[in-house]
Amino acid sequence: MSWNDRNVLITGVSGFVGSYLAKYLIDQGANVYGLIRRRADGRIPKNLVDRGIYNEVKLIEADLLDLAGLANAIDEAQPDVIFHLAAQSFVPRSFTHPLETFQINTLGTANLLEAVRVKDYDPTIVFAGSSEEYGLVISSEEQYNRVKAKYGHVSPEPERIPEVPINEGNPLRPMSPYAVSKIHGEYIFRNYYYTYGMKTIVSRGFNHEGAGRGIMFVTSVVTNQVMKYKFGETDKILIGNVNAFRDWSHVMDIVRGYCLLAEKGRPGDVYNQGSMRTNSVMSYILLSLEQAGWKIEKIETMKNNKVVENPTEIDDSEMFGVKFEKTKLDRMMLENEIEFTIEDEGVWVHTDKGKIPVVFDPNRFRPSEVPILMADTRKIQKLGFKAEHRLTDIIRDQLNYFLRPENRV
């Protein structure tokens, strides 16, 4: 499908992913309309300015909670394709603001579909679902036993261990109001295909990052602090749970994936989007320091004497039946050889230019946590998807973004 001259409506266009998607589609010749909330402060959305497309996106003011506003937006855009990305997308906020999260993510999603239905348009609509929907993923027998001891049960019980890489048939065990809201949104999407024959397609995106990623997400939390440390603006790196493993993709890989799903995805169906690798938050910190110019010799916990020599050594051995790029430390953590706890207080990173403190901040730990995510992307690969970027490409883009003092927080 050529995007040239096609009408595309993006909800969440001023967000991190929406703005990259809009830029990509504009470059392909599409007429891009973007839904945007009225701003009391009248500020111009930074992401659209940063992408250089502020004057090219046709912005339509409408709130996801206002059905009439949505219907007007659809009249105006006459969309061939809608990408529904608008959401309250930050997991910790969903713990403190669950109702707001449900309103925007579930009711807002239902409103959008209703607006399309009553208007009798027949666009392809792609939903930004999330890997968080999988939630509690079981990666080993040891972890299964630990989880069972902590919660008393695992529900639904895993049909296989490990459940990694995670395919679309995996049970959903949401661990946050955000995850629940996305499951709800996804199911309304799929149901509108079965009930009304609408061309709805669901993407379950694993984490995607890059320059301009919201400052509260861990990849920005890390790269922002590494650059601040580099410029002497801080004397330590503060972080929460470094044991978490995520499948981090470059935002541009996911943007291309969204377009591919609009072109070739099967209505009513669900597709994972990710890189089919998994890396720890700790490795993200170490690789960021390395890219920023430090040579890492070893790490050592502040308490409890846990030491790993050459933690960033590349390891591309097979794990979970997949060969993927990770660090020596990732492999050790995945094999349960080492785990970091709050009681360790933090980690000294020994480098060629001295020791760097990475300090565990109890306030940054979550009430319930998703321990590991790794996408099985074979389904979308069959449509032609390929993740092009390595983890270090993402880190480089983020560090370059934070080179500019005005971007550092």
Residues of this chain that interact with ligand GDP (CB under 6 A) are: 91, 132, 207, 216-218, 221, 239-241, 244, 246, 281, 364, 366, 369
The smaller minimum CB distance to ligand GDP, of residues 37 and 366, is found at 366
Q: Which residue number, 138 or 262, has a Cβ lying nearer to ligand GDP?
A: 138
In angstroms, the Cα distances linking 143 to 163, 229, 317 are 11, 35, 21
Least Å distance, CB 132 to ligand GDP, is 6
User: CB-wise, 283 or 351, nearer to ligand GDP?
Assistant: 283
Please name the residues in contact with 277: beta carbons below 8 A apart, sequence gap of 6 or more: 247, 322, 324, 325, 326, 374, 391
CA 94 to chain centre: 15
The residue (of 10 and 285) whose beta carbon lies closer to ligand GDP is 285
Please give the Cα distance from 135 to 144 (Å, whole number): 14
Residue number with CB closer to ligand GDP (109 or 279): 279
Q: CA–CA separation, 405 vs 233, rounded Å? A: 10
Structure tokens at 404: 């500019």
| Closer CB to ligand GDP, 144 or 217, in the complex | 217
CA distance linking residue 226 with residue 399, whole number of Å: 8
- CA dist 228 and 409 (Å) reads 9
Residue with tokens 């983890």: 391
The residue type at 139:
S
Q: Contact at 8 Å (CB) between 248 and 208?
A: yes
Strands 314-315, 307-309: pairing is unpaired
Looking at the Cβ atoms of 354 and 362, the one nearer to ligand GDP is 362
CA atoms lying within 13 Å on the CB side of residue 188: 21
DSSP string covering 124-167:
EEEEEEEGGGTBS----HHHHHHHHHHHS--SSPPSSS---SBP
Nearer to ligand GDP, 136 or 218 (CB): 218
Find, among 108, 109, 287, the residue nearest to 200 by Cα: 109
Residue from 198, 22, 32, 181 nearest 121 by CA: 198
Please, which residue, 116 or 281, has the CB nearer to ligand GDP?
281
Name the amino acid, one letter, at 22: A
The token pair that represents 188 in the structure block: 């309304």
Smallest distance from the beta carbon of 246 to ligand GDP, in angstroms? 5
Which residue do the tokens 């529900």 mark?
Answer: 155
